Amino acid sequence: MAKRVDKEQRQAELLEIAIEVFAKRGYQATTMDEIAEQAGVSKGMLYIYFKNKEALFGAVFRWFGKMTEEVMQGAIDDTKDEVEQIRRITAAWAEVAIRHREFVPLFLDFWAAASVHGMRNDYAEDLATMYDEYRTMIIGIIERGKVRHIFKSDVDAEAIAYLLVGGMDGFFIQSWLSQPNNLNTLMFNATESLLQGIITT
């Protein structure tokens, strides 16, 4: 074991820096020089750990997906109550939106990248899968709640999933643009109103 840090850790460090720089400057405006300099390594080094700029961006993308998934999953682990699970998911997301405002540009870059066909990696597919999983998670909650008669039996679980997932993203972006100081409350109230519409009385 030489004094050199091992590859995996080095790669993780580079990724961390890349996240920072991509978030601050956007994908296009970010140069490999900038990342290398910020990381204190040579440019050639980056190319050893990541095939090219796009691969590096892809790594950031996957990191982001994992992070959000953990947030969502972590939110529902502690309770079996479906209503509470939905509350916690949106609350957790509001938390992310507040604590990680700096990721919004990154987030938007992912989408923009996904929507362009020129990119070698197929972000669109990855992103679609990600959103599918989120919706599936929500649908599962709703359906279980329906079985337990907590949610009305005629609720369209898929529609609610679309609304919640889309709404959370929309909240994220709008809050970034307009910076409301009561984001948690807004998210909470919106969630409650929606819940009022789907729970059995």
Stretch that binds a second copy, among 47-55, 57-65, 75-83, 115-123 (CB under 8 A): 115-123
Pair 104, 26: CB distance under 8 Å: no
Tokens coding 87: 């509350």
* Rounded CA separation 79/101 (Å): 28
CB of residue 127 vs DNA: minimum separation in angstroms? 21
Is residue 168 close enough to count as binding a second copy by CB under 8 A?
yes
Tokens coding 180: 């409301």
Q: Considering only residues 15-54, where is the footprint of DNA by CB under 7 A? A: 29-33, 41-45, 47-48, 51-54
Place of tokens 């899968």: 129
Pair 67, 60: CB distance under 8 Å: no
CB of residue 57 vs DNA: minimum separation in angstroms? 10
- Compute the residue count for the chain: 201
CB of residue 138 vs a second copy: minimum separation in angstroms? 12
- Of residues 45 and 96, the one with the C-beta less far from DNA: 45
Binding site for DNA (CB under 7 A): 1-5, 7, 10, 29-33, 41-45, 47-48, 51-54
